[in-house]
A and B are shown apart, each in its own frame.
Chain A
Amino acid sequence: MVGNLLAGFASALDGWGIVVMIAGVAWGIIGGAIPGISGAVAMALALPYTFGLDAATALVLLAGVWAGANYGGSIPAILMRMPGTPGAAACLLDGYELTRQGRAAKALGVSLVCGTIGGLVSIIVLIAMVVPLGNVVLAFASPETFALALFGLTLIAGLTERSFLKGMASGFFGLLLTTIGLDTLTGSLRLTFGRRELLSGVDIISIMIGLFAVSEMFWQIAHPKRGAVEPVGQAHTAFPTLAELRSVSRATVVGTIVGIIVGIMPGAGATASSFVAYNEAKRWSKRPDLFGKGSMEGVAAPETANNAVQGGDLVPTLALGIPGSNSAAIMLAALILHGIVPGPFLLTKHTGLVYTLFAGLILVNLLMIPVGIVILRGCLVALKVAPPVLVASILAVIVIGTYAADLFILNPVLALAFGLVGYAMRVYGFSPAATVLGLVLGLLAESELRRSLLISYGSWAIFVTRPISAVLLLMTLSVLLYPAVMHARGRRHSRLAADHAAGGSGSS
């Protein structure tokens, strides 16, 4: 394997290899940062340029775009509360708080370094265990994916500290939005109001951008002093120190594990992994109280996870020839267009090619740091722009970006309308983040639930008789009950303490 990998490195670095990789990573980061260009779209735009290249170079180029886009989405999320890709939505919860506190470059640096670590570790796991993990993929089916989505939805409880009821209402609003569109399981139309644009459902990224970014811009317009980003000082452009990076190591480990597992699961991808990782990092953190108020760990965990998904996604892609995500599907399309049939024999029939891809994946993840720093330096200029100019420019970019993605005029309208909705939610204490969570996990939860029940001939027992699904549901249940139990225990403790104090004072 080591020999194959060394040959892979030689082949990946052959000729223009390094230039191709740098170009791929740079385009990926920029594409990911532009709202409306997801990782898969950025890869599709690069696809025509790969025809002139040999298959290995083409794959390495696309791998670079993929890795770059996974990271790039977090740049506008942190700087402007605007997720460039759905996978970056979780990181803005704390990332944008850090920007408001004047620590934008720290957040961006953490995202870059942790994303790179997540990507690298997942690729190493992929290289070491692609064949055994390929069989693990088959143990995950609809019941497991449903249980995972449910587990992710428990984050709603964590996102709402003031009113649990308002949090649930926000989450269910998101779930409701996902029911719009052509139902793939029955072919029936739901809540489309005769609009063609709604046939494939509402555009999730437009709504996300509306709820987070547009509402924030409206907020800054309405509250010019409180909401505006403070003038840039030296602090803004200071990248994280080694000690700061070490302080997020626990969140990075959590994010990597979550990212790889969720990546391997069919159906669930970068977005689900980043929310689950955020939730888990909070649970395992020494300072969970900082989450939502500008926690470095709250940036590190989701960003590690959505980059670590890459290795997981490639497990079914390489071991079975079944793409683990839209991005992985484009890698397979490139293979097919180069005359290579993907499938379980890819590893044995095209060993050289696969190992060149492995080596290329390691290299592009390493290249993310230097290329990322150069691009970040440019992006930090945005902080120096006067708030009114910045707000106007961001709104313009949002309108153009959401329109350009599908060329549906409905999408910028949705973004602006949900800007108002988000604003109102903020005023009345509802949680836009919970709505987004419902939105990204709702469709997954619904279709996997219904599919599970078709597989089980209608029996709900399937969720407890399958071990992985049972464990996930048990975890979900314990997560839901834990705060209630702690709360009750806490009350008993304080009552005991009060009794004790009362008794003590009485005796003295």
Chain B
Amino acid sequence: MRQRSSERLVLVLAASLGLLVAVLVTPAVSQAPDYPTRPITFVVGFAPGGGADVFARGLAESMKGVLPQAIGVENRAGAGGTAANAYVSGRPADGYTILFAHAGSSIITPLITNQPTLKWDAFDPVARIHGEEEWLFVRPDAPWKTVEELVAFAKANPRRVRVAGSAIGGIDSFVVLSWEKAAGISLQYIPHEGGGPATLTFLGGNAELLVGNVSEVFQHIEAKRMVPFVVASEKRSAIFPNVPTLKEKGSDVVYAQWRSVLAPAGTSPSRIATLTVALQKALSTESWKRFNTNAKAVDLYLGPADFRRFLVSEEARLTRIIDDLGLRRR
């Protein structure tokens, strides 16, 4: 009896101690094994069916089985993608709401629309995933065989050469505007609501050049309706290694349509680590590799620290260009 009561005392003490420890330690201990315990939402700032949306869905599909929880894709289109930024930045920083971002939605649009609180630095970078190179295309009957010939023609005939591309403020327009500045030429840029309509204007003979990604036009290249002319990347592309870069032609114009993942600011490093590990696993799955190849995208993975460094320098570079072009509101 005596023994039993002392046993009980020990048990009670142990239990209360355990409870105390549990209460004190819960936030620190529970995260790693307990995340994710419910479905994660990927938020896309653009309408279903667009490049950003397809990318988010492709990635969500490849993460099936990598994480114990399902991943849903939610479209919050509007305000040039920044409606999604506003939504995600207001969500709890618990790793369950993740933002899909690219240069346009996380740097350029917040800058030119004067919404500094929605820029990338209002979030915690998780990873840069992949990117598409920026190309200039001509039709097979184009009179210029080389970049030099085109530049000479454009110099002699300012605003004569028409370039179809997506909206002003997108990467497409930055490629053209930067090239104009670097090569000392003046082109006629024709902005469109997206790459599809721009391709139609170009194929219909209403523009001499098209600027954009290969994925949207690859079959037109195979069908010999257009030819890749020059690429705005650091090195020649693996897709068309015979096509020169703008850089080797003397114009330092390097852009990529990179896509990335951001989390609300204050998300715990351990949850971000869980996400990056899962992302790396997803990127090595067969389904992602096939998706990435079909999209003619280049693997551009950067982890949280490297991605943050990249964003700092990318923002500085894009800010200079935006100010040069006078696009910023004051």
Contact = CB atoms under 8 A, between A and B. Distances in A.
Nearest to A137: B200
B72 A48 contact: yes
A85 B36 CA distance: 38
Interface stretch (A36-44, A171-179, A360-368): A36-44
B288 to A, nearest CB: 11
Interface residues of A, number: 53
A187 B219 contact: no
Interface in B200-224: 200-201, 203-207, 216, 218-220, 222-223
Interface string B131-145: 000000000000000
Interface stretch (B8-16, B24-32, B161-169): B161-169
Most chain B CB inside 10 Å of its own CB: which residue of A41, A328, A339, A455: A455
A328 B197 CA distance: 13
Interface string A334-351: 001101011111100000
Nearest to B215: A341
Contacts of B220: 320-321, 343-344
Contacts of B50: 329, 333
B241 interface: no
Contact of A40 (B47, B57, B76): B47
Contacts of A447: 193
Which secondary structure dominates where chain B touches chain A? Answer: mixed
Contacts of A138: 200, 203-205
Interface stretch (A106-114, A196-204, A242-250, A373-381): A196-204
Interface stretch (B79-87, B92-100, B271-279, B305-313): B79-87
B57 A199 contact: no
Nearest to B195: A322
B303 interface: no
Contacts of A48: 72-73
B83 A454 contact: no
A316 interface: yes
B75 interface: yes
18 contacts: A44-B53, A48-B73, A138-B205, A184-B167, A199-B79, A200-B77, A200-B78, A267-B197, A320-B199, A321-B219, A326-B49, A329-B48, A337-B58, A344-B219, A344-B225, A408-B78, A451-B191, A455-B190
A197 B79 CA distance: 7
Interface in A47-102: 47-48, 51
Interface of B: 47-50, 53-54, 57-58, 61, 72-73, 75-80, 82-83, 86-87, 109, 112-113, 115, 159-160, 162, 167-169, 173, 188-193, 196-197, 199-201, 203-207, 216, 218-220, 222-223, 225, 290-291, 294-295, 327, 329
A185 B191 CA distance: 6
A19 interface: no
A267 B197 CA distance: 8
Contact of B162 (A266, A316, A330, A454): A454
B30 to A, nearest CB: 29
A199 B168 contact: no
Most chain A CB inside 10 Å of its own CB: which residue of B49, B159, B206, B218: B49
Contact of B294 (A142, A333, A339): A339
Nearest to B71: A48
A187 B328 CA distance: 9
